[in-house]
Amino acid sequence: METSNLDKIFKPNSIAVIGASEKAGSIGFALIRNLQAGAYQGKLFPVNPNHRTIDGLKAFVSVEQIGEPIDLAVIATPMQTVPSVIRDCAKANVGGAIIISAGGKEIGEKGRELEGEISKEAQKGGIRIIGPNCAGVICTGTQLYATFADEKPLPGKMAFISQSGALMSAILDLSLKERIGFSHFVSIGSMLDVDFGDLIDYLGNDPDVSSIVLYIESITHARHFMSSARAVSRIKPIVVLKSGRSAAGAKAAASHTGAMAGEGAIYDAAFDRAGIVCVKTIQELFDCAELVAKQPVPKGSGLAVVTNAGGPGVMAADAMAELDFAPVPLSSMTIQKLDKKLPLFWSRENPIDILGDAIPERFRQAVEICIAAPEIDGLMVIYAPQAVSSSVNVANVLIDLLKDCPIPVFAVWMGGEEVEKGRKIFNRAGIPTYETPERAIQAFHLLHAYTRNIELLQETPQKRVHTFAFNRKKAEAIIRGMPNEESRFLSEIESKSLLTAYGIPVNRTEVATSLKEAVRLANEIGYPVAMKIFSKDITHKTDANGVRLNLNNEAAIRDAFAGIIAAAKRYNPAAEVTGVTIQSMLKPSDYELILGAKKDPVFGPVILFGMGGIMTEILKDQAIALPPLNRLLVRRLIQSTRVYQLLKGYRNRPAADLERLEEIIISLSQLVTDFPEIVELDINPLILKENCFIAVDARVLVKSSDIPSPLHLIISAYPNQYERKTVTRGGLNIFVRPIKPEDEPLLLELFHTLSPKSIFQRFSRMITNLPHKILARLTQIDYDQDAVLVALKAEKAGEKMIGVCRLTQVPGSRKAELGIVVGDPWQGKGVGATLLENCIPIARERGIESVWGRVLAENTTMLSLARKERFTIKKISEDDQYEITINLKKDV
């Protein structure tokens, strides 16, 4: 449903409180009192058939009886009555509802049935719902306090969304102590309707919100969540605390990959991919939230420390080392400036120890120099109680200097009552305070990680000439040719054939169903060979003592065959043993790696890479990522493991062919993208020998899937179905396809073919260049939300981008804004028309009902194209522009 209706919840002109009460201590009483005490400016209507007035307001029997338009209903009646209440709200054309009532799915089947009835009635009436089982909503900008919480937050620009009403109350209480302001407090409850993705979409487009903080217990509609978060995190920091991070979800895993890709690690990978700052504790959440609310995001990791005590400075340096960064080295210019102001025996390095006899003025001088130093991206000021100066005097000297500082600055006032007054001075001035250096540094590090993550997300992948060849038909025959079972393990032969179909190299493996056949195959393959048990009922061969290595002659084959069959019977007497596999015995490997995939119930396919072999679970050196993956993402996955240090070359060992490894991981990513039936896949080990990679053992679990590819992914894959070669009306042969992240250089070249007139007509202002951040946003799109097609023309030097058509969906609506640009040399040759004709069907397919754009009056070419494509053209009176619109719902 559209998030535009959320205005009815957060910016209501009228509210009905259903279940309002005059009974002190009741939720209905608290709701009315809070709305009135918060100075809500709209109309307020209590609804309770047992009262004529409530808190001085006329009460109504039902919402229908009010007889006036109602934007928001706040419901606090017993859960069993809520379906009928929502039905009444639908009849009264109520736009949104906050359901405080508990007793939904959290109590079991009966509650789930009630929520189903509520959802059905709400959908009929187009009502958006927050809750049930929530603590309500606060919006300081509209003075909306639709909650039973006791405290009233300070106004600010940070939004807090919590799945726990109790945690919302705790954060609210702490925020008052630390003087942190909020734009929104939202207790999201059971998420019957409005979920985290909806709220990120809505708040991300609110200019009065500068950052978003989330407390998450579970995620519904993961694809929508990721789409929203990836879009918003590029412009506003999102901080999340995810509870329930245990590996309980991996207990039933049938492979190494399934066991190691636990729930917490998968959430971390998803948050990283979305550019979200992930914290592990409530303290980290609050500390990070305070820094986000009060200070700018750091541009780099260059942290400086000013302290009047050597010990806390050392503690700060140690805390940084724990997080793999160090105090920024001071430039010679900064040291010279500090030399002029500080005593002879100051530390002359960072941390900057200004000595225990530092008076307030010395603090001010050191801080002023640090703020101006170009190498410093953030500053921590530590005060330890000394006899020379008081915490209050130091704080008073610094607050004017630290207000509106261009870099994040935070105060660590160490101690108890003696320094509390100083902390209060900073909090009133909007400067974050911490009691220990470790807490402050952790908060700074988390925010710098956000900056770095966004930089990585906006990095442009290099274009490669290598093209991947996949035999999808062969893979489909292996996977979908399975018996009518709910799930099954592919045999080792099938598993390796599946990998081969996607270009993943495997060790030749043959099946022997008898001793005679085993001897024949060993002679044919050549000694030495390896022999392994072949049984669909035994997946971990080593556990069953079902592996024999380095077999050098027929006698060894005979002994191994008998031993393996006997061991299999002892391990699982009921197992169906087909025979053994024979494969060539490879020379000792340089490295053993693990590569695998797991289908997570929330996030879909997950790719795992790391150190493999028998030490896999012991060393636990692995990293995970979410497909689809490109080379840049795969390289980052590899680099996040310790084994990467070996793979890039170590001592006398040469570097591995990392490009080939990237291709293998990309091939696996494509395999699980193409086939949602793959539940778990293990390649362990993937050995590296003399710069060649070979999958020695493979295990694949498949299960029928109701969700087709690529909808089982939570990140939209590149839609290659929209690629086509065509000829424009002007006779140009072009290749039309969706834009790719690696198109950034081509897009910049296209921009430079535009004349000043074309630039002004497209952007309504003069610009001379497109910086990387803008180009990244234009090329790294969410294929679920936006449709961007490019026209490419083949030339001797390579392909050239000659035009772009962009349909950008308005968040939370079924409308999309149109933008077309064609390079000056190719204008008037039908490029724009061809792109538009290919874009409109995509918009229809995605449920877009109208496409609109604004065109300058002088842009006659675009206006002419709009007329030909049957757009409605309307003059905008206040300026020299036209609005063009096409109704796709009507125009079918």
CATH numeric code, 149-283: 3.40.50.261
- What residue spans in the chain does CATH classification 3.40.630.30 cover? 720-887
Helices 631-639 and 658-674 pack at an angle, to 10 degrees, of 110
Superfamily of domain 720-887: Gcn5-related N-acetyltransferase (GNAT) (3.40.630.30)
CATH numeric code, 1-133: 3.40.50.720
Q: Which two tokens stand for residue 382?
A: 């530590």
What are the strands, taking DSSP E only, across 22-67?
Answer: 43-47, 53-54, 57-58
From edge to edge, which strands make up the β-sheet containing 378-383?
A: 352-353, 303-307, 378-383, 409-413, 433-434
Cα angle: 327, vertex 330, 333; to 5 degrees: 165
- What residue spans in the chain does CATH classification 3.40.50.720 cover? 1-133
Half-sphere exposure at residue 562, Cβ-oriented, CA atoms within 13 angstroms: 5
Contacts with 318 (C-beta within 8 Å, 6 or more apart), sequence order: none
Work out the burial of residue 426: count CB atoms within 10 Å of its CB; fewer than 13 is exposed, 13-18 middle, 19 or more buried.
buried
pLDDT of 170: 85
Class of 295-457 in CATH:
alpha beta
Torsions phi, psi of 523, nearest 5? -65, -35
pLDDT of 175: 85
Going by the DSSP 8-state scheme, the letter that residue 250 receives in this structure is: G
Work out the burial of residue 270: count CB atoms within 10 Å of its CB; fewer than 13 is exposed, 13-18 middle, 19 or more buried.
buried
Say how far apart CA 777 and CA 783 lie, in whole Å: 13
Work out the burial of residue 664: count CB atoms within 10 Å of its CB; fewer than 13 is exposed, 13-18 middle, 19 or more buried.
buried
Question: Residue 600's beta-bridge partner residues?
Answer: 604
Q: What is the helix (H) or strand (E) element at residue 556, kind and residue range?
A: helix 554-571
pLDDT of 283: 85
- What residue spans in the chain does CATH classification 3.40.50.261 cover? 149-283, 295-457
The pLDDT averaged over each successive group of 10 residues in the chain (892 residues) is 75 95 91 92 94 92 93 95 95 95 89 93 93 94 92 90 87 85 92 94 91 91 92 90 64 46 81 90 85 86 94 94 92 96 94 94 96 95 87 92 89 89 89 91 89 81 70 91 71 92 93 94 93 87 91 95 95 93 85 92 93 73 91 91 88 86 95 95 89 89 90 90 93 94 92 89 78 88 89 88 91 84 92 93 90 86 87 81 84 46
pLDDT of 289: 84
Question: Residue 738's beta-bridge partner residues?
Answer: 789
Question: How distant is the alpha carbon of residue 647 from its chain centre?
Answer: 28
Helices 391-402 and 360-372 pack at an angle, to 10 degrees, of 30
107 three-state secondary structure? helix
pLDDT of 253: 42
pLDDT of 417: 83
Contact (Cβ atoms closer than 8 angstroms) between residue 62 and residue 84: no
Contact (Cβ atoms closer than 8 angstroms) between residue 167 and residue 282: yes
- Rama region for 301: left / alpha / beta (φ>0; ψ in -120 to 50; rest): alpha
pLDDT of 478: 92
Q: Which two tokens stand for residue 782?
A: 């969410």
Amino acid, res. 836 = L
The reported pTM is: 0.85
Work out the burial of residue 520: count CB atoms within 10 Å of its CB; fewer than 13 is exposed, 13-18 middle, 19 or more buried.
middle
- What value does the CA radius of gyration of the chain take, rounded to a whole number of Å? 32
